[in-house]
Amino acid sequence: MKIVYQNVIWLLSFAAYTYMSLAEDEKPAVDIVAFFHEEDNQAKLAFETAVSNFDIMDSPVEYVPRIEVTSESDSLEHYNTFCNLVKAGKVGSIISPTSPKVAPIIESLCVNLEIPVLQVHWRASPLMNNSMTINFYPDQKLLSQGIGVVVRNLQWRSVVIFYEGTENLIRIQEILKIQNYDASSKSNSVILKQLGPGPDYRSALKQIQNKTEYRIVLDCKTENVLNILHQAKELNLLDKKYSYFITTLDAHTLNFSVLNTEANITTVRIINPENSVFQNIVTRWKMRANVDLDAYSVKTETALMYDAVSTFMNSFRNNYVTTPIETEVLNCNENIKQWKHGLQLATFMKAYDSRNMLSMTAPIEFNSYGKRTNFTLHVIEGNREKVTAVWHPSNGDYLHFLQSAEDRNKEMEERWSNGTVVVASILGPPYLMLAPKHEILQGNARYQGFSMDLIAELARRLKIKFEFEVLASGARGVYNKETKSWNGLILEVLERRAELAICDLTITPERREVVDFSAPFMRLGISILYKKAEPKEANMYAFLDPLSIDLWIYSATLYLAITVVLFFISRVSPADWENPHPCDQEPEELENIWNMKNCLWLTLGSIMNQGCDILPKGLASRMTAAMWWFFTIIVTNSYMANLAAFLTNERSQGSINSAEDLSKQTKVKYGTMEGGSTQGFFRESNYSTFERMWTQMEQARPSVFEKSNDLGVARVQNAKNRGYAFLMESATLEYQIYTKCDLIQVGGTLDSKSYGIAMPLDYPHRSRINEALLQMGESGFINKIKDKWWKEERDEPLCTAGAEEGPSNKLALQNVGGVFLVLAVGVALAYIVAICEFLWNVRNVSVEEHISFMEALKIELKFALNFKVTKKRVKPQVSESSSDSGESRSMARSIIHGAGSFLHLDILGRHDTPGGSSRHTSRHSSRPLD
């Protein structure tokens, strides 16, 4: 029984072997032909492995890989080779050669005979949109779009593009579109440079050696990349300030570590060597050929070769199930006969779903023209294993980052913190100054000032290290149109010798074209620095200046003359003689009130614009008074009008109060700092006043421009007769006038601008710096250090009146002191006159009442000091003893009394007899005004 079982098993095995052998013999053979221009072991391995790994048991045909090594330029050789292959009648598909010289011949023949032709390389311009060509290499337009999206997300606003040939421009055309090219710009967004034939590319690289462009796109053959980068390193174009973007899809096969560079290198690829499917396929290759093959050494075209062959065999098998496919003998010279299954296979491959296939470059999709429309573009920064983002054609302009923005920023911050940030600046108080004993100090300790404190606090908040580098030239940054280059701090940032630049550096549109600025840490404007008027010697009699000495003398003389004239005219004018007793209709006497005293009072009241309580009644006297009033109103008002100007003349600080005043005069010269933003403001302004000022400054000889603000300030101080004004930024001007008390700020600011920290374009840490500056401003730290260096840390004493105090609008005592003096003298004279009148009255009382002078003085003085009494007796009350003693008057008193009678004084005239009666009467009497 056992022997029977063994025989049955043997028979079944033999039957199965026979069946399989017969089946294998019956399988038709299909040739897959690949044209190579040289012995490419890697591509050959992929080609053969793709065929051998296909499931033979599941395949209805036998696939035969055929490799044809041909010349890159011999068209006839390719024609004959192809024709001999199709005559054998087994060709199912052709892998097109890579040479653009001969590939069109093979592709044209395949189109004529309807044989599917597979492409695995980049084609700058396909022969035609035909139905037989399937290109597994990404479509040139989509690949160019992906490269453009990567560059845009790198935030490169300006780039230098190095390319080998004109066909390379197709690949970088999207980069050209996203960059803004302006021929009139001082810094073009795109600079195109052709590398040349090589292998020495130094001549092309030297063209950017002295430029300020550090973002470089390199589009060349993979085998030339390292050679170009080595030469760039020799020219110092590969240090940490440079960034390179390499467009070749085989950059992952290069070992950039041999360059030993800190430059940022970004590459792209469509394969993923870390993928498990990719690694399994590579492992099969290694086992088949027994070679040590690294996944990162697999070229893009090698992987595409594998996918192309696999796709063809899967399509052939799927079509064979429904319609058996047979190869045919074809003739290149007979265009009538075509392979009847070729178009069917090509159409099926274009619509084939690659998700059912193990692919090295998945996903794979084609359009109706055989162009690949789906792939994954991996973006790698630094190490080739570090994929930072991916792009798919279906996502358009969207680049998908594999890390969150927070993780990317954190990683970037760590790299920033590990290095030292170089900060460029210039010496100039109060922003940066040499510290005491700086000779024995090192590093940042050698400097102090506003900029140092600001950067130190910024570094503390951002947790970075910094180092100040002082620029000896002292230039902030000016663009030279002739040399087309910048200088100063801007050049330091452009050439990346410094990452940051800080001082009183104004943010201007010109500078913002080439560098970025932080958020403003100080706002200001252009203002005018001028010298105060030198104080004149105090003139207490300035109120006399409106009229000349001659006019004063003439006016005083005329005052006396008019008084005398009025006195005589009133004496002769009948209308000025009045009835002393209005109730008496027929008076015996008339009186004239216009004595010399009253005439003086009328003319004086007119001058003072105060008038008088009595007025003339005669026609002549009134005409005289009216003419005098006309004269006094002119003289008095003229005096009052000129008085204001004369009194304020000394407190005036000059006729320059604004930029408009400067522009309309030529006596006072004015200028700015040479090469500064203030000079640029006037040079570029189209406002009429500022244009006029710039013309005057530019034409002035000697030059009104100074090399620094300190020299400009010194020139203002030393200018004779206040003949120079300096236009400078208000923050620095404010610092100067705090201690230089002979200087003032004239007018307000002419514009509005800001100081900021300069940094390279697209500086990755700009947002962090801005955030820290805003926090420092809100917390009051910036104002605190400004007060420290503007006011507190000053070697010179601060001005007592305050640096910001302008010219006073108030009159000082020395301007009108003479008026007070005149008032005091006048009151003193009045007081003396009052005393004299009082003593004279005392004398009269003593005579009339026959008492002693001392007794009369005692009585009158006691009455005058009694302030409660408001009524006075006509005659003082005198005691009997006082009256008796008065009988014995001395001879001296009699003489005085006689003299008074002779001069016709009022009281003595009326009381020259003991009885007090008048000794003579007249028709006309004169009564004084009481």
Per-residue pLDDT tens for 243-256? 999 999 999 999 89
Same domain assignment for residues 454 and 550:
no
Please give the average per-residue pLDDT across 674-682, as a whole number. 87
pTM, rounded to two decimals:
0.64
pLDDT grade, residue 219 (50/70/90)? very high
The CATH code of the domain that includes 73 is 3.40.50.2300
Query: Which pair of structure tokens corresponds to residue 593?
Result: 């009130």
Measured in degrees and rounded to the nearest 5, phi and psi for residue 95 equal: -90, 115
The CATH code of the domain that includes 513 is 3.40.190.10
| pLDDT for 321 | 80
Chain segment 515-540, per-residue pLDDT in tens: 999 999 999 999 999 998 776 666 67
Same domain assignment for residues 147 and 134:
no
Residue with tokens 């096969």: 253
Task: Give strand ranges (E) for 687-844.
Answer: 724-729, 743-746, 753-755, 758-760
Q: Is 484 left (phi over 0), alpha (psi -120 to 50) or beta?
A: left
Same domain assignment for residues 67 and 146:
no
| pLDDT for 14 | 46
Residue with tokens 């000794």: 919
d(CA 417, CA 403): 20
- Classify residue 657: in a domain, yes or no: no
| pLDDT over 50 at 690, yes or no | yes
More confidently predicted of 182 and 236: 236
State how many domains the chain has. 5
- Classify residue 433: in a domain, yes or no: yes
d(CA 900, CA 905): 6
- Classify residue 696: in a domain, yes or no: no
Same domain assignment for residues 322 and 281:
no
Same domain assignment for residues 100 and 34:
yes
Q: Which domain holds residue 165?
A: 140-288+378-401
Same domain assignment for residues 327 and 191:
no
| pLDDT for 408 | 74
- Classify residue 760: in a domain, yes or no: no
DSSP state of 210: T
More confidently predicted of 640 and 877: 640
C-beta separation of 236 from 346 below 8 A: no
The CATH code of the domain that includes 642 is 1.10.287
Query: Which pair of structure tokens corresponds to residue 570?
Result: 């009133």
| pLDDT for 911 | 40
| pLDDT over 80 at 319, yes or no | yes
* Residue 383 CB-density burial (10 A; 0-12 exposed, 13-18 middle, 19+ buried): exposed
| pLDDT over 50 at 312, yes or no | yes
| pLDDT for 185 | 54
Same domain assignment for residues 501 and 601:
no
Give helix 891-902 / helix 813-848 axis angle, nearest 10°.
110
More confidently predicted of 765 and 913: 765
Measured in degrees and rounded to the nearest 5, phi and psi for residue 434 equal: -75, 135
d(CA 638, CA 607): 12
Chain segment 751-787, per-residue pLDDT in tens: 888 999 999 888 888 999 999 999 999 999 999 999 9
Measured in degrees and rounded to the nearest 5, phi and psi for residue 468 equal: -80, 135
More confidently predicted of 298 and 804: 298
d(CA 416, CA 264): 13
d(CA 203, CA 190): 19
Same domain assignment for residues 430 and 393:
no
C-beta separation of 65 from 48 below 8 A: yes
| pLDDT over 60 at 13, yes or no | no
Please give the average per-residue pLDDT across 599-610, as a whole number. 84
**Beta carbons within 8 Å of 40's beta carbon, 6+ residues apart:** none
C-beta separation of 259 from 240 below 8 A: no
d(CA 121, CA 305): 9
Question: In this prediction, what percent of the chain has a pLDDT beyond 70?
Answer: 83
Same domain assignment for residues 149 and 130:
no
| pLDDT over 80 at 355, yes or no | no
| pLDDT for 375 | 93
- Classify residue 790: in a domain, yes or no: no
Mean pLDDT of the chain: 82
Question: In this prediction, what percent of the chain has a pLDDT beyond 90?
Answer: 28
Same domain assignment for residues 253 and 393:
yes
DSSP state of 797: P
Query: Which pair of structure tokens corresponds to residue 876?
Result: 């003082």
Chain segment 136-186, per-residue pLDDT in tens: 999 988 999 999 999 888 878 778 999 988 777 888 888 887 765 554 555
Query: Domain end: 649, 672, 691, which one?
Result: 649
C-beta separation of 425 from 437 below 8 A: no
Please give the average per-residue pLDDT across 589-603, as a whole number. 85
| pLDDT for 480 | 87
d(CA 46, CA 120): 12
d(CA 502, CA 454): 9
- Classify residue 917: in a domain, yes or no: yes
Measured in degrees and rounded to the nearest 5, phi and psi for residue 517 equal: -125, 150
| pLDDT over 60 at 919, yes or no | no
- Classify residue 661: in a domain, yes or no: no
- Classify residue 768: in a domain, yes or no: no
Q: Which residues of 138-176 are buried (b: 16+ CB within 10 A; e: fewer)?
A: bbbebbbbbbbbbbbbbebbbbbbbbbeeebbbbbebbb
d(CA 645, CA 727): 29
Query: Which pair of structure tokens corresponds to residue 253?
Result: 């096969």
Chain segment 362-409, per-residue pLDDT in tens: 899 998 888 999 999 999 988 778 899 999 998 888 899 888 777 777
pLDDT grade, residue 505 (50/70/90)? very high
pLDDT grade, residue 832 (50/70/90)? confident
| Sign of the alpha-carbon dihedral angle for 843, 847, 850, 852 | positive
Same domain assignment for residues 838 and 917:
yes
d(CA 908, CA 502): 97
Same domain assignment for residues 22 and 163:
no
d(CA 258, CA 233): 12
C-alpha distances (whole Å) from 603 to each of 571, 597, 627, 632, 636 are 16, 10, 11, 9, 13
Chain segment 569-591, per-residue pLDDT in tens: 888 777 788 887 878 777 778 88
**Beta carbons within 8 Å of 140's beta carbon, 6+ residues apart:** 122, 123, 124, 170, 171
Chain segment 192-207, per-residue pLDDT in tens: 888 988 789 999 999 8
Lowest mean pLDDT across 95-104, 134-143, 215-224, 535-544: 535-544
More confidently predicted of 911 and 560: 560
**Beta carbons within 8 Å of 154's beta carbon, 6+ residues apart:** 215, 243, 245, 266
* Highest mean pLDDT pick, 488-492, 656-660, 802-806: 488-492
Strand partners, 69: 36
Lowest mean pLDDT across 240-249, 853-862, 881-890: 881-890
DSSP state of 547: S
pLDDT grade, residue 920 (50/70/90)? very low
Query: Which pair of structure tokens corresponds to residue 816?
Result: 């009108």
